[in-house]
């Protein structure tokens, strides 16, 4: 069974393949409507338990993931699951870490790594990807993700 997000719902990013992924900030209330089937939480400390399947990546605010290999594997899994499931990517505010992760998903979806940040800023949030090192992480992600998963 395929379950996807409503394309016009708040925080939903449509990737070029048509996959829909919801980004959000955990400091904000859970949006009305469908719940995620799977969520990837990008936080410096373990998130609260939720009623859906989730995975936590240790990723301090304004920084990069503590383990980039584990993060790449989790992002690949989230991208794959987004083909048939409602996938949510979230951090505290929903912009820096979430935007960085969404840009990495865009790279996995075929957006050139040097265009992925602009893609996410245009289609998700203008404030997405907040720091120079987060932008650099995205531009380097394409090569590292291909090496990790080929």
- What span, in angstroms and rounded, lies between the C-alpha atoms of 114 and 138? 8
pLDDT at 86 over 60: yes
What pLDDT score does 90 carry? 97
- What span, in angstroms and rounded, lies between the C-alpha atoms of 16 and 1? 22
Confidence of residue 150 (pLDDT cuts 50, 70, 90): very low
What pLDDT score does 147 carry? 39
CA-closest candidate to residue 63, choices 91, 88, 104, 40 = 91
Q: Spell out a b/e string for 37-53, using b for 16 or more CB atoms within 10 Å of the CB, else e.
A: bbbbbbbeeebeeeeee
What average pLDDT score do residues 11-27 get? Answer: 96
Domain 13-149 class in CATH: alpha beta
pLDDT tens, residue by residue, 32-49: 889 999 999 999 999 989
What pLDDT score does 63 carry? 83
């Amino acid at each position: 069974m395929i379950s996807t997000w409503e394309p016009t719902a708040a925080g939903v990013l449509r990737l070029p393949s048509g996959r829909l992924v919801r980004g959000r900030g955990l400091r904000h209330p859970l949006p009305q409507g469908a719940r995620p089937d799977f969520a990837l939480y990008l936080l410096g400390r373990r998130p609260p338990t939720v009623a859906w399947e989730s995975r936590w990546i240790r990723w301090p605010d304004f920084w990069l993931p503590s383990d980039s290999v584990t993060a790449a594997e989790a992002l690949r899994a989230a991208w794959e699951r987004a083909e048939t499931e409602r996938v949510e990517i979230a951090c505290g505010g929903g912009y820096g870490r979430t935007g960085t992760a969404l840009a990495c998903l865009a790279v996995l979806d075929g957006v050139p790594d040097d265009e992925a940040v602009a893609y996410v800023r245009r289609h998700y949030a203008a404030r997405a990807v907040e720091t120079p090192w987060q932008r650099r992480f995205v531009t380097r992600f394409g090569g590292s993700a291909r090496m990790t998963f080929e």
